[in-house]
Amino acid sequence: MKKIGLFYSFNTNKTAKNAEKIKKAFNDSAEVENVNVEEIDEETFLSYDNMVLGVPTWFDGELPNYWDEFMPAIEDLKLKGKTVALFGLGDQVGYPENFVDAIGILARALEERGAKVIGLTSTEGFTFERSAALRDNKFLGLPLDIENQAALTDDRIKDWVEQLKTEFN
Amino acid sequence: MEALELTSVEKENNNEMTETKKFNIKNTSKELLGRWYHLMTLGRALDEKAPNYLKQAIGWSYHAPYAGHDGIQLAIGQVFDKETDHLFPYYRDMLTSISAGLTAEEVIYNGISKDTDVAGGGRHMSNHFAKPEWNIHNVSSCTGNHTLHAVGVGRAMKKYKHEGVVFSSQGESSVSEGYVYEAINGATNEQLPVVFVFQDNGYGISVPKKDQTANRKVADNFRGLKYLKIIHCNGKDVFDSMNAMLEAKEYAMANSIPVIVQANCVRMGSHSNSDRHELYRDNAELNYVKEYDPLAKYRRMLVRYKRFTEEELQAIEAEVKLEVKKAHKAGLTAPDPDPASIYDFVLPEAYVSEKYPEGLHDYTGNEKKLIEGLNETLKAEFRHNPDTYIWGQDIANKDKGGIFNVSKGMQQEFGKERVFNAPIAEDFIMGTANGMSRFNDKIRIVVEGAEFADYFWPAMEQFVDTTHDYWRSKGQFSPNITVRLASGGYIGGGLYHSQNIEGALTTLPGVRIVYPSYADDAAGLIRTSMRSKGMTVFMEPKALYNDPKAAAPVPDDFEVPFGKARVRREGADLTVITYGNTTHMCVEVADKLAEETGKQVEVIDLRSLIPLDKETVLKSVEKTNKVLVVHEDKVFSGFGAEISAMITEEAFEKLDAPVKRVGSTFTPVGFNRILERAILPNNDKIYAAAKDLLDY
């Protein structure tokens, strides 16, 4: 498996902790490099063919600033040949109308530039009303709800990474 | 419940890349990006400086910081065109106003309430920015109340085929107010070019939005309305906000339908200087709202995408610093309002009657009923002035013309554009009248404020606000409205169909109140109301519409000036001061007393309560030395209390007896005729009081 770039904001607490868990779950099956989204440029982003992106949903369904500010750069990138998997924190009780929207916003933007999005997951076990991250009743990544389902997080990460191992090149 | 995917429209809103938006960091001109940075930096500098004025006891004692709303406020101001559009900002819209063109000086003049404040010379609260000269309206603190005014302006734009759009800006919690629903419902029903912007920062002072409504995005509450577009945007992001506002404006104008823009914002500070948000927001939240800072984000993007260098931005920041310093100096040396000016601009000048300066005539033609006098004069004024409009509940549907048919035949003659029904929403009727008259000062509006005067209460918030407008704007905006209300009892109507409300209304400065008793005065007063600037409440004693007692010869061009009472019967032994239904009773009692006792009672029909003809009253008191005040409204706190107190204060030495009053009991008006008779004044009650005084 090619080297994986694990992109998230190093200034976060919860997302960073879960990124570390993801990295750990890959064991030695792949080389995983942590990358701070807050400092990336186009070149860094393009230097990985396999990427895992940490994208929590802010407020009523928004990208965090650090991803949002990178979006204009993404618009001009050609991402054919890139494989990306997204995970993101969300709160299905507090924000049921926009549960993990940010996963969907970023995933679709990357797809439009030619990237392949992998790591789709089932909605089973989640209760919410609407989500921009849904396609054909599947999430375009891995939602993590540590506000309401913290006890399920470790197993969800473990299962997801096992899935990624089979889906990444 | 099954979870839903977003619709294609929602996906489009969420996905920045499905189409190239007009504004983004890469394609927007450097000049424009720089101008925006200047405006945003200036706004933030003033927003952060405002609390210092309070600390130094200079002013700005009300300040609602806008930080966190920067993107959407910049965008509202940028898409507003003062040549064609109208803007209703709310009390948090400092950057909106700056972006629309207000200078740093003008913001500070308003903040510290100087005479030079272009909103209204320090008469309104601080942080209520406006510039009526540019159609940036001076609005109430009553949150969301201006949505109805925006709809009124939108109605005028449509009727006059004006190319423009109205922007109404407000916080998301104000949408909980019922009148905001009335406004949006009305704008969709009439298909008006109004853009309602909800700046959603999650709080109504300390009340989180979950305690306001079930949807987290309140705009979604309106999804069922026809002819409405809803756009969601990130109000913290300059480009998303600019694109959303531009789309909203273009859509509203091209399709003549309203648009709601819901802008997600954060409130970085407290609600206002009297609120302490640390009492209800935890540290995590206080930290993340700071992280959201839209100005910091915009600055980072300008540098990241190499549109501006650090040095260039610092140069703009230095410019702003100087600008604020200069404005601060101008603010401190600007003149304060003159305390002697408080009586200026309470009411605008009324129409002056040259032919009937006293509101009297000697015409001897055929008698007309009161309802005929009103109907014919309304029609005559509609022929005289093409900028006249009338609406209300039941006002026009085939042969029906108003609940009592006062406006019968008007729609047939003047068309649906000028004579039309209103929804069953009194506040909407009143509020859109206020709004429509903002479009230009040629317009004269008549509304049936409610089916019956006692149903007018739901309109009170708009009514009260309208009484403030002329004074609050220091004479820059005069709501030119005649509010017709069918009033009073003697019809067995009970509560909501037989009560009087003028006692309560006369406590409000900023409105004229007239209450005729005869057909000629009704005709003359409605003409004067419709030719005057300002608001007039026109009380119609509905029991007299068809009563032969109220019939009179009415000259075709009759005019009754405000503040001119009419002596209906002369006498030297007792003065009876009255108006409306009871005028006729007083005249009858006076005749009876003359016959029985030979004593002559002078009956003064006030006709106008505000302004009050003190001169006629005091002159009569000087002659008779005894006074009885009679009206149908309650004695307790009725308008007679004011008359009585005025006489006692200004003519005590002339009195030979205490001033007595006759009116309703301090109860609601009962439905059963037995109850109604016990409650309302009548000839017997007036006779007894008058006799007592004559014998005193």
User: Among B521, B553, B585, where does a domain finish?
Assistant: B553
Q: Which residues of A touch B215 (CB under 8 A)?
A: 97
Pure H helices in B365-483: 370-384, 410-414, 426-436, 460-472
Taking the C-alpha atoms of residue B451 and residue B421, their distance in angstroms, rounded to an integer, is 12
- Containing structural domain, residue A57: 4-167
Considering only CB atoms, which residues of chain B are within 8 Å of chain A?
1, 3-6, 10-11, 14-18, 24-26, 200, 215-217, 220, 234, 237, 264, 266, 288, 291-292, 297, 300-301, 304-305
Question: Mean pLDDT throughout A27-45?
Answer: 94
Retrieve residue B207's tokens. Answer: 């009340």
| Residue B15, pLDDT above cutoff 70 | no
Q: Do B291 and A97 touch (CB under 8 A)?
A: no
- In what helix (H) or strand (E) does residue B567 lie, and over which residues does it extend? strand B566-569
Q: Do A112 and B3 touch (CB under 8 A)?
A: no
Q: Do B3 and A135 touch (CB under 8 A)?
A: no
pLDDT confidence of residue B18 = 45
Same-domain pairing of B297 and B377: no
Residues present in chain A in total: 169
Question: Mean pLDDT throughout B19-46?
Answer: 94
Taking the C-alpha atoms of residue B528 and residue B539, their distance in angstroms, rounded to an integer, is 14
Closest CB from A74, A113, A132 relative to B14: A132
The phi, psi pair for B429, rounded to 5°, reads: -60, -50
Taking the C-alpha atoms of residue B604 and residue B565, their distance in angstroms, rounded to an integer, is 7
- Number of structural domains found in chain A: 1
Same-domain pairing of B393 and B321: no
* Residue in B with minimal Cα distance to A110: B17
Closest CB from B3, B215, B300 relative to A128: B3
Same-domain pairing of B380 and B282: no
pLDDT tens, position by position, B113-124: 999 999 999 999
- In what helix (H) or strand (E) does residue B531 lie, and over which residues does it extend? helix B519-531
Question: Mean pLDDT throughout A46-51?
Answer: 97
Taking the C-alpha atoms of residue A1 and residue A166, their distance in angstroms, rounded to an integer, is 9
| Residue B9, pLDDT above cutoff 70 | no
Same-domain pairing of B96 and B223: yes
Q: How far is A93 from chain B (nearest CA, A)?
A: 12
Q: Which residues of A touch B217 (CB under 8 A)?
A: 60, 97
Angle at B440 between CA B435 and CA B444, to 5 degrees: 75
DSSP characters over B326-376: HHHHHHHHSPPPPGGGGGTTSSPPPPPPSS-TTS-----S-EE-HHHHHHH
Angle B70-79/B238-255 helices, nearest 10 degrees? 40
Q: Do A129 and B16 touch (CB under 8 A)?
A: no
- Containing structural domain, residue B689: 566-695
Looking at per-residue pLDDT, the higher value among B1 and B59 belongs to B59
Retrieve residue B72's tokens. Answer: 């959407």
pLDDT confidence of residue B645 = 98
Same-domain pairing of B112 and B182: yes
Strand A138-139 to strand A134-135: parallel, antiparallel, or no bridges (unpaired)? Answer: antiparallel
Residue B13 within any structural domain of the chain: no
pLDDT averaged over every residue in chain B: 95
Same-domain pairing of B617 and B547: no
Strand A4-8 to strand A50-54: parallel, antiparallel, or no bridges (unpaired)? Answer: parallel
A4 SS3 class? strand
Same-domain pairing of B127 and B274: yes
Q: Do B217 and A97 touch (CB under 8 A)?
A: yes
Taking the C-alpha atoms of residue A40 and residue A38, their distance in angstroms, rounded to an integer, is 6
Residue B26 within any structural domain of the chain: no
Domain CATH for B483:
3.40.50.970
Q: Which long-range contacts (CB under 8 A, 24 or more apart) does B331-337 make?
A: B331/B105, B331/B108, B331/B109, B331/B111, B331/B112, B331/B114, B332/B58, B334/B109, B334/B114, B334/B115, B334/B116, B335/B114, B335/B115, B335/B116, B336/B113, B336/B114, B336/B115, B336/B122, B337/B113, B337/B114, B337/B115, B337/B121, B337/B122, B337/B123
Rg value, chain B, Cα: 29
pLDDT tens, position by position, B416-436: 999 999 999 999 999 999 999
What ipTM was reported for this prediction?
0.94
Residues whose CB is less than 8 angstroms from the CB of residue A148 and which lie 6 or more positions away in sequence, other chains included? A91, A92, A93
* Residue in B with minimal Cα distance to A131: B5
Interface test with B, best of A59, A92, A100, A134 (most B CBs within 10 A): A59
pLDDT tens, position by position, A82-119: 999 999 999 999 999 999 999 999 999 999 999 999 99
The phi, psi pair for A152, rounded to 5°, reads: -90, -10
Taking the C-alpha atoms of residue B473 and residue B571, their distance in angstroms, rounded to an integer, is 45
Taking the C-alpha atoms of residue B8 and residue B14, their distance in angstroms, rounded to an integer, is 10
Interface test with B, best of A60, A91, A122 (most B CBs within 10 A): A60
| Residue B513, pLDDT above cutoff 90 | yes
Q: Do A62 and B234 touch (CB under 8 A)?
A: yes
Distances (CA, A) of B409 to B376, B402, B405, B531: 10, 10, 9, 21
Q: Do A112 and B11 touch (CB under 8 A)?
A: no
On whether the CB atoms of residues A107 and A96 are closer than 8 A, the answer is no
Neighbours of B224 (CB within 10 A): 7
Q: Which residues of B touch A134 (CB under 8 A)?
A: 3-6
Q: Do B266 and A61 touch (CB under 8 A)?
A: no
Kindly indicate the confidence band of residue B54, based on its pLDDT and cuts at 50, 70 and 90: very high
Q: Beta-strand (E) ranges in B93-200?
A: 166-171, 194-200
* Residue in A with minimal Cα distance to B289: A59
B637 SS3 class? coil
Taking the C-alpha atoms of residue A59 and residue A105, their distance in angstroms, rounded to an integer, is 14
pLDDT confidence of residue B401 = 83
pLDDT confidence of residue B20 = 60
Q: Which residues of B touch A9 (CB under 8 A)?
A: none
Retrieve residue A136's tokens. Answer: 């054909």
Kindly indicate the confidence band of residue B7, based on its pLDDT and cuts at 50, 70 and 90: low
Domain CATH for A115:
3.40.50.360
DSSP characters over A68-126: HTTHHHHHT---TT-EEEEEEE--TTT-GGGTTHHHHHHHHHHHHTTPEEE--EE-TT-
Give percent of chain B above pLDDT 70.
Answer: 97
On whether the CB atoms of residues B271 and B280 are closer than 8 A, the answer is no
Please, is B115 exposed, middle or buried when counting C-beta atoms within 10 Å of its C-beta (0-12, 13-18, 19+)?
middle
Q: How far is A75 from chain B (nearest CA, A)?
A: 7
Retrieve residue B282's tokens. Answer: 């935890």
Among residues B64, B45, B95, the alpha carbon closest in space to that of B324 is found at: B45
Kindly indicate the confidence band of residue B16, based on its pLDDT and cuts at 50, 70 and 90: very low
User: Among B516, B531, B553, where does a domain finish?
Assistant: B553
Closest CB from B6, B18, B305 relative to A130: B6
Question: Mean pLDDT throughout B497-503?
Answer: 93
User: Among B519, B553, B587, where does a domain finish?
Assistant: B553
- In what helix (H) or strand (E) does residue B158 lie, and over which residues does it extend? helix B146-159
Retrieve residue B400's tokens. Answer: 């029906």
Retrieve residue A16's tokens. Answer: 């960073």
Retrieve residue B667's tokens. Answer: 């109860």
Q: Which residues of B touch A130 (CB under 8 A)?
A: 3-6
Tell me the whole-structure pTM to 2 decimals.
Answer: 0.95
pLDDT confidence of residue B89 = 98
Closest CB from B11, B217, B291 relative to A65: B291
Please, is B340 exposed, middle or buried when counting C-beta atoms within 10 Å of its C-beta (0-12, 13-18, 19+)?
exposed
Q: Do B15 and A112 touch (CB under 8 A)?
A: yes
Kindly indicate the confidence band of residue B17, based on its pLDDT and cuts at 50, 70 and 90: very low
* Residue in B with minimal Cα distance to A62: B234
| Residue B504, pLDDT above cutoff 70 | yes
On whether the CB atoms of residues B167 and B88 are closer than 8 A, the answer is yes
Same-domain pairing of B182 and B266: yes
pLDDT tens, position by position, B150-172: 999 999 999 999 999 999 999 99
Residue B16 within any structural domain of the chain: no
Size of interface A-B (CB pairs under 8 A): 85
Q: Which residues of B touch A72 (CB under 8 A)?
A: 24-26, 301, 305
On whether the CB atoms of residues A84 and A51 are closer than 8 A, the answer is yes
Q: Which residues of A touch B4 (CB under 8 A)?
A: 129-131, 134
Q: Which residues of B touch A115 (CB under 8 A)?
A: none
Retrieve residue A1's tokens. Answer: 């498996």
Same-domain pairing of B525 and B622: no
Q: What is the dihedral angle through the alpha carbons of A43, A49, A54, A58, rounded to the nearest 10 degrees?
A: 60
Same-domain pairing of B607 and B678: yes
Kindly indicate the confidence band of residue B271, based on its pLDDT and cuts at 50, 70 and 90: confident
Q: Do B264 and A134 touch (CB under 8 A)?
A: no
Kindly indicate the confidence band of residue B229, based on its pLDDT and cuts at 50, 70 and 90: very high
Q: Do B5 and A105 touch (CB under 8 A)?
A: no
The phi, psi pair for B378, rounded to 5°, reads: -55, -45
On whether the CB atoms of residues B410 and B419 are closer than 8 A, the answer is yes
Among B248-252, B498-502, B684-688, the least confident range: B498-502
Can you tell me which residue has the tokens 């009892």? B489
Same-domain pairing of B534 and B574: no
pLDDT confidence of residue A154 = 97
Q: Do B16 and A61 touch (CB under 8 A)?
A: no
| Residue B623, pLDDT above cutoff 80 | yes
* Residue in A with minimal Cα distance to B200: A60
pLDDT confidence of residue B400 = 83
Give percent of chain B above pLDDT 90.
Answer: 89
- Number of structural domains found in chain B: 3
On whether the CB atoms of residues B25 and B305 are closer than 8 A, the answer is yes
How far out from the chain centre does Cα B390 lie?
17
Number of alpha carbons in the 13 Å side-chain half-sphere of residue B660 = 20
Same-domain pairing of B317 and B393: no
In eight-state DSSP terms, residue B459 is: G
Give residue B441's region: left, alpha or beta (phi > 0; psi -120 to 50): alpha
| Residue A47, pLDDT above cutoff 80 | yes
